[in-house]
Structure 1
Amino acid sequence: MSSVVRVAAVQAEPKWLDLDAGVAHAVDLIAQAAAGGAELVAFPEVFLPGYPWWIWLDSPIAGMQYVARYAENSMTRDGEHLARIAAAAAEHHVFVVLGFAERTITGSLYMAQATIDDTGRILSVRRKLKPTHAERTVYGEGDGSDIQVHETRLGRLGALNCAENMQPLTKYTMYSKGEQIHVASWPSFSVYRGKATALGPEVNTAVSLVYAVEGQTFVLAPCATVGQAAQDLFCDTDAKKELLLQGGGFTRIYGPEGSELAKPLSETEEGILYADLDFALLAIAKNAYDPAGHYSRPDVFSLTFNPNPTHAVQQVGPTGDAATAATGAVEQEDSGDERP
């Protein structure tokens, strides 16, 4: 583990519902970040193929016009598109945390984050434990196996999506795993501005900051933007344009004691934030607080955590050639939902 690690957090507009263009864009951003000296590049929530903003703008039946295209442009965890991202990580010798919509063999979609090391090895693909509000009309839920922290040469690296970063029990489990670098991926803070404070930048940048101070971990909070392309795609009325404003990019990088480590971009600007993480700050932060360590009271409070994956279908009975034909459909379904 290095004493100082240079990191990059992406603030950019996705290539909406266009997976090939989105992968090319992500590969280019990885190259840019590496040229800037970054050893880790963090992307916004479901950057590929973009956040499904239609769920906040109209009725479920009106949103059906996007569903097939969105599914078609969502990645699998073992397909060529994620392999191209992994190859870019290897080429540029950087770690990558990528937010994407994951499509499984059964057809379900999940809000996923892939963690890829600097050799191009996919360390894991995790899923958002509980999609937020209207997101549940598009995505399924993860399980306990999706709460992960990885030992890497950069330090212990973890990631959560959006409002997962305000779930007390999820956060506490992550803290207990000794996270040192955390990626808090966000979609954009442009929807319902002035109408729903809980969805706005003031609250959610505060969530990322509190995560850093509570967990005594560095926090990269990449956040996408909404531009003209998004409004052209999702907003067919002026009323919808008022609900989904352009901008919303509030990417931040925080230190474990609450310092802001990178000068923010304007909310409409696309670019990359860089910061040098000095691990000496971790010791200083831990000296004051460590809610999963010296500042805990396990005699008073305890948390039960189930880290095991769950499956809709579990095969019982005979195995081998005689059972293969009868259980082929079940095995095929399970193979599309394996967890690295």
Structure 2
Amino acid sequence: MSTLPRFTAAAVQAAPVYLDTEATVAKAVSLIAEAAGNGASLVVLPEVFVPGYPYWNWTMTPVQGSPWFERLRQASIEVPGPQVETLCAAARQHGAVVVIGVNERVPYSLGVLFNTMLTIGADGRLLGVHRKLVPTWAEKLTWTGGDGSSLKVHQTEVGPLGVLACGENTNTLARFALLAQGELVHAASYIALPVAPEDYDMADAIAMRTAAHCFEGKVFTVVSCSTISPEMGIADRPRSALSGIFGPDGRPVVEPLVDDEGIVYAEIDLNRCVQPKQMHDIVGHYNRFDIFRLHVDQRPRAPITLEETWTTPPSDAPGYPTPLS
């Protein structure tokens, strides 16, 4: 009789060393070591933890914020790259599955940055590079949207693991796409949002999204959120951040952490997902696939496709080669 994994998960709530790439990576390595030292086999860190979130999109005009975009690009990382190798080495050293958000730059364009979630196996292999599909509201001034190629569930030492960044956890179809691939552990990474409208409670918003996904999919979610530090230059306000671990009934497994830096630990037993699935299995018997159908395009998108093989032109052709069809 097969049994599902049982393990300790860690949800990290911390601020980056703002726009300081190497210092933030070092802090991430330290947090991974601390969490693993306390028994965690899965460590989830916040959205764009390396090297921070572009809060100026919310507090400045696009013209005022443009120099900050340049600073962020300079501090962003390439994937793969040396900073990713450092994070992978930390996962391997401590034997933990790691999920962490980074700002990713690309070599083909100076204007393209991605909000990227890295999934790293306990053996140090980079398993997944998920680029946020739709940057939220003011974030469109900074990030380019990703494609469906990274909307995948990874088979890890802690079970089938899927990840989404912040507002993506509101996207019903994106969440269903992960559930339908067998997701049982969901990692949801967020940023603290004190710049939201006055009537918006970020802690409540995170908790509601997390509970909804857990209850609908009968899965566990480890949710990690960043916090605000003085060097970010924005005023903090209460209930801007929440991190914790939620079970397949939609309830927190332990008391979530609100606003303060720290690490939340909880034991996850994936066998707890079985009996609730008998009641509502929305990727199985509790659906009507003869009525509903979801198509996910997982082809990677690139700005150009280059054909490198050419035919020999016929004798009467103009003076340039003819591409193969």
The answer to whether TM tops 0.5 is yes
Q: How far apart, in 2, do the equivalents of 1:278 and 1:73 lie?
A: 38
* Higher share in helix: 1
Over the aligned positions, Cα root-mean-square deviation in angstroms equals 1.8
Give distance in 2, aligned partners of 1:223 and 1:319. 51
| 1:276 corresponds to | 267
What CA distance in whole angstroms lies between the structure 1 residues aligned with 2:53 and 2:237? 14
Give yes or no for contact 1:45–1:161 (8 Å, CA) kept in 2: yes
Aligned-residue offset at 1:319: 5.6
Higher strand proportion (structure 1 or 2): 2
1:94 aligns with 2:96: yes
Aligned residues: 308
Residue by residue over 1:45-97, the C-alpha shift from the partner in whole angstroms, topping out at 9 and shown as x without a partner, is 10111111110111011112312211111111111111101101111111100
Q: Deviations for 1:284-318, whole angstroms, at most 9, x for unmatched residues? A: 22111111111011111111111111111011362
Quote the residue 2:240 is aligned against: 248
Question: Shift in Å at residue 194 of structure 1?
Answer: 2.3
Structure 1 residue 203, shift from structure 2 partner? 2.3
User: Displacement of 1:226 after TM fit?
Assistant: 0.9
Q: Which runs of 5+ in 2 are unaligned?
A: 312-319, 321-325
Residue in structure 1 matching 2:121, options 117, 121, 124: 117
Q: Which residue of 1 aligns with 2:307?
A: 316
Point out the structure with max Rg over C-alpha.
2
Tell me, yes or no, if structure 1 residue 149 matches structure 2 residue 140. no
Q: Is the 1:189–1:201 contact (alpha carbons within 8 Å) kept by the matching residues of 2?
A: no
Match of residue 177 from structure 1: 181
Amino acid at match of 2:171: Q
**Alpha-carbon distance, 1:19 to partner:** 0.1
Contact 2:4 2:271 in 1 (8 A): no
d(CA) in 1 for partners of 2:71, 2:246 = 36
Give percent identity, aligned residues only: 35
Segments of structure 1 that go 5 or more residues without pairing to the other structure are 236-240, 321-325, 327-340
Q: Distance in 2 between matches of 1:127 and 1:319?
A: 34
* Contact map agreement 2:245 2:252 (CA 8 A) in 1: yes
Matches of 1:55 and 1:219, distance apart in 2: 29
Matches within 5 A, 1:40-59: 40-59=42-61
Relative distance call for 1:266 and 1:184 in structure 2 (3 A) is: closer
TM-score, normalization by structure 2: 0.90
- The answer on 1:126 being equivalent to 2:117 is no
Give the AA of the match of 1:275: A
* Selected match of 2:105 from 97, 103, 106: 103
Q: How do 1:154-303 residues align onto structure 2 when only pairs under 5 Å count?
A: 154-192=158-196, 194-195=198-199, 197=200, 200-231=202-233, 235=234, 241=235, 245=237, 248-267=240-259, 269-303=260-294
Aligned-partner Cα distance in 1 for 2:228–2:159: 32
